[in-house]
Structure 1
Amino acid sequence: MSFNKVEEVFTLEEGKKVRLRGWIYNARIQGGLAFIDLRDGTGIVQVTIKKHELKHPSFDSIVDELKREASISIEGYIKKDPRAPKGVEILCESLEIIGKSEDYPIKKGVGIKFLLDHRHLYLRREKFQAILRIREKVIEAAEEWFRKNGFHLIHCPSFVLAACEGGATLFDVDYFGKTVHLTQSSQLYLEAAVFGFEKVYTIQPSFRAEKSKTRKHLTEFWHIEAEVAFATHEDIMNYEEDLVSYIVENVIDENRKDLEILGRTIEKPKRPFIRMTYAQAVELVNKSGIKMNFGEDFGAEAEKLIANSIDRPAFIMYFPKTTRAFYHMPHPDDENLTLSSDLYAPGEGEITTGGQRIHDLELLLKRLKEYNLNSEDYKWYIDLRRYGSVPHAGFGLGLERIVKWITGVNHIRNTIPFPRTPFRVYP
């Protein structure tokens, strides 16, 4: 017994017999007439049930069961009607209730906490599904770009001993009586892999114990990370620009329907991306009336100002080492600066961080000492510099951050099915 998909019915001729199954997204009962918005995994279509035209079962026997999110199957035929959503409706001849639904708890006007508590049901909303389909496309496009450009997929561990981005944001885990951490980034392990594969990437979760109650922070997020052997800081920025452009272009070309559902208009990124130095960005912030000292990282207000001042993605380059982790290569003209950059999306803010890594053994040991890090914890990482080390560079792209930018949603928690924040681990 075969069923049509909702997306099919809009391409079929009037009078065509169809069989559909799915869930009631909305139901309106008017005497002996019922209008149902039937949802499946491909879309929503209006189903019209007329009491005297329903062959099986009787209208009166099922009308009280036509509740939101009840699962049903129907048979009927297509009718073109400009009054119906998208100009098509299904005139129902028979209907079966597959699974009854209680009174649906999510109603208009409920608060954010209620919606988050009922996230398992919120997944059924049309707009949220559009966001998650775009998220899926971002991953698909990224993987496609990596394959086309000769990158190899490497899976990295989630339990680690050493910090990658600073000890203050580590989650500690009791690992059979020993304290280990959840990974903040797969970068160090990807660096190990470049000496065998040259170009590597991963897409997997990272964890940051940051008590940041902002619209762009999660404690568990998905990280698109890459490392390249024989690459410079300039090389890695070029890779980032190409990848981000490829992702956005793919979403625009292939997720038009989802962008329409969200009411989102986004243009393909203008190229080349802007390149400004950290010093220039600090000057811009101060000229705009936000006080910022050289050597500080950009706060939320400064980040927003920069993001709103650009018409295309922009790299902010050469951050001071006081704002960066130990592994960043010093700038050749000023050892207090690093060959690193953040990529800002217009109207959004930082979506990637990247740069050239220290490949010299003595310099790496010096930096570990400067940062008061125990070299024993990084023994294997240091070892990479003993056996044919080469210049290399990499970056990390926050999946949820690029999805937030593309979709235009106001909070990062709306870019992931089940968000984890300092205040939420349920459901």
Structure 2
Amino acid sequence: MEQIQIIDAKHHVGETVKIGAWVANKRSSGKIAFLQLRDGTAYFQGIVVKNEVGDDMFQLAKNLHQETSIWLTGEIREDSRSKFGYEIGIASIEVVGESQDYPITPKEHGTDFLMDHRHLWLRSSRQHAIMQIRNEIIRATYEFFNNNGFTKVDPPILTGSAPEGTTDLFETNYFDQKAYLSQSGQLYMEAAAMAFGKVFSFGPTFRAEKSKTRRHLIEFWMIEPEMAFMHQEQSLEVQEQYVAFLVQNVLDNCDYALDVLERDKELLKKYTQLPFPRITYDDAVELLKKNGFDDIEWGDDFGSPHETFIANSFEKPVFILNYPKAIKPFYMKPHPTREDVVICADMIAPEGYGEIIGGSERATDYEFLLEQIRAQGLDENEYSWYLDLRKYGSVPHSGFGLGLERTVTWLSGIEHVREAIPFPRLLNRIYP
């Protein structure tokens, strides 16, 4: 008898198989017990018929508690009534691990309770679906960059300097000097791009920003590509192709998860249609002012309501180009005809999900960068290695960073970024 996982049930219709599973829920109707089973790959139903298994086995099935782990054997059948499409007619059950008084029941629970029990909440069908979408985005990310000639490079997590200033960084002692948890691998990726041409990193980043919004995490994962011999317009094309590729792969490979989350797939399909619209920062400010946003002035950064309105005006991800120099980091290339803006773009997701990508063309002039570093009060000795990149064969280069959790939140159609990572780190939460 073959041991299988639930996800592979479709390949074993009519066969008797063995499965290790947990009991997610159960109900009984007279002489039939219905078990909702999960094994980490999918959920489906097991049917126990008293006349087929005998009194003892039927009583065992009826008395199983939520989250008890079991071995079961039975025949896989098609089940057109369920979204999954298959079920198992159970012949025998063996209890592996009892579960008593499981704290997360089918009733409603508050967010704090669920977050305190995150280690168990991950077992629920909704959280399972979100994590499957996250996993698919990660898998598709590697496929996209590997297929397009990128080399993966891992930047350090402990750094001696900060690409965007040290205000929102976690400081730590590094033997006899200060170090910081990385807020971005970008500067190191620029060095890597000078060695390998096209590179990407995929790793954890940390922001000590005291923010409680539904878009912010303290620890999150970033995908940061960097491309030598590439101007901003070419980078924007890579960005939209990458995002459309992620959306298409989630549609292709996460159909069941999207159903569980009741995500509108037709809406997602629109996000695969290229190109994505582009609007300058100047025009975005004008658009907002014309539509009653009197709180916005040229030079301000956009808040959540502003980004939502701009994105909803296009119904697709939209690039906002060329932000004011004063609100962007020192390393961005100045605009060729204007001193007040830099060559950069943020990609704003539709449906109120905000910025998912930030990117720019990087400054290549040694003297300009040195001047910017000094102007921002940064220690130029800490950045001497970065300035070296402008001394030894500097080339036009561009890059961007995509926030994994914000992208998971958007494609899953969920409300809060805290559900997009297995164990979220929030302003007041480091447990479990």
TM-score bracket for this pair, using the shorter chain length? over 0.9
SS at match of 2:359: strand
1:399 match? 404
Give the 5 Å matches for 1:331-350.
331-347=335-351, 348-350=353-355
* Alignment correspondent of 1:7: 7
1:154 matched residue in structure 2: 153
Q: Could you tell me how far apart the structure 2 residues matched to 1:200 and 1:78 are? A: 46
**Whole-Å Cα distance in 2 between the matches of residues 356 and 272 of structure 1?**
19
Deviation at 1:55, TM superposition (A): 5.2
SS at match of 2:242: helix
User: In the alignment, is the contact (CA less than 8 A) between 2:317 and 2:350 conserved in 1?
Assistant: yes
- Cα deviation for residue 275 of structure 1 reads 1.0
Amino acid at match of 1:206: T
1:102 aligns with 2:100: yes
Q: Tell me the equivalent position of 2:21.
A: 22
Per-residue CA deviation, residues 163-188 of structure 1 (Å, 9 max, x unaligned), is: 11222111111222422100010000
1:21-40 counterparts in 2 under 5 A? Answer: 21-30=20-29, 32-40=31-39
Quote the residue 1:139 is aligned against: 138
Gaps of 5+ in 1: none
Q: Percent identity?
A: 44
How far apart are the structure 2 equivalents of 1:287 and 1:81?
55
* Contact 2:83-2:256 at 8 Å conserved across structures: no
What is the match of residue 273 of structure 1?
276
Aligned to 1:250: 249
Q: Read off the aligned partner of 1:387 and give its amino acid letter.
A: Y
SS in 2 for 1:53: helix
Contact residue 154 and residue 200 of structure 1 kept, 8 A: yes
Confirm whether residue 355 of structure 1 aligns to residue 353 of structure 2.
no
Distance 2:350 2:98 in 1: 46
**Counterpart Cα distance in 2 of 1:393 and 1:18:** 53
Aligned position for 1:384: 389
Q: 1:373 to 1:308 in 2, by over 3 A?
A: same
Query: What amino acid maps onto 1:4 in structure 2?
Result: I
Residue 136 of structure 1: how far off its partner (Å): 1.1
Superposed, 1:364-379 pairs within 5 Å as: 364-379=369-384
Check the 8 A contact 2:247/2:411 in 1, yes or no.
yes
Q: Which amino acid aligns with 2:252?
A: D
Contact 1:212 1:422 in 2 (8 A): yes
Structure 1 equivalent of residue 91 of structure 2: 93
User: Deviation per CA, 1:351-386, whole angstroms, max 9, x where unpaired?
Assistant: 100111111110101111222222112111112211
Q: Give the C-alpha shift of residue 148 in structure 1.
A: 1.4
Contact 2:57 2:92 in 1 (8 A): no
Partner of 1:128: 127
Amino acid at match of 2:296: M
Contact 1:358 1:364 in 2 (8 A): yes
> Is this contact kept in 1: 2:43–2:84, CA < 8 A?
no
Could you tell me whether the CA contact under 8 Å between 2:57 and 2:93 is conserved in 1?
Answer: no
Residue in 1 aligned with 2:170? Answer: 171
Alignment size in residue pairs: 425
- Aligned counterparts of 1:91 and 1:137: Cα–Cα separation in 2: 31
Q: Distance in 2 between matches of 1:29 and 1:92?
A: 14
RMSD over aligned CA atoms reads: 1.9
Tell me the equivalent position of 2:310. 306
Q: TM-score, normalised by structure 2?
A: 0.94
1:393-419 deviation digits (Å, cap 9, x = unpaired): 110011111111111110011111011
- Does the CA contact (< 8 Å) of 1:56 and 1:94 recur in 2? no
How much does 1:34 deviate?
2.1
Where 1:204 maps in the other structure, the secondary structure is strand
Instruction: Indicate the residue corresponding to 1:282 in structure 2.
Output: 285
The CA deviation at 1:30 is: 4.3
Matched AA of 2:277: I
1:280-309 Cα distance to aligned partner (Å, 9 max, x none): 011111222122111110012211211222
One-letter code aligned to 2:98: K
Output the TM-score relative to the length of structure 1. 0.95
Q: 1:317 maps to what in 2?
A: 321
CA distance in 2, matches of 1:115, 1:309: 35
1-structure distance, mates of 2:158, 2:83: 50
> Structure 1 residue runs of 4+, over 6 Å off?
none
Q: What residue identity is the alignment partner of 1:153?
A: K
Q: In the alignment, is the contact (CA less than 8 A) between 1:269 and 1:313 conserved in 2?
A: no
Report the counterpart of residue 416 of structure 1 in structure 2: 421
Separation of aligned partners in 2, 1:412 and 1:318: 27
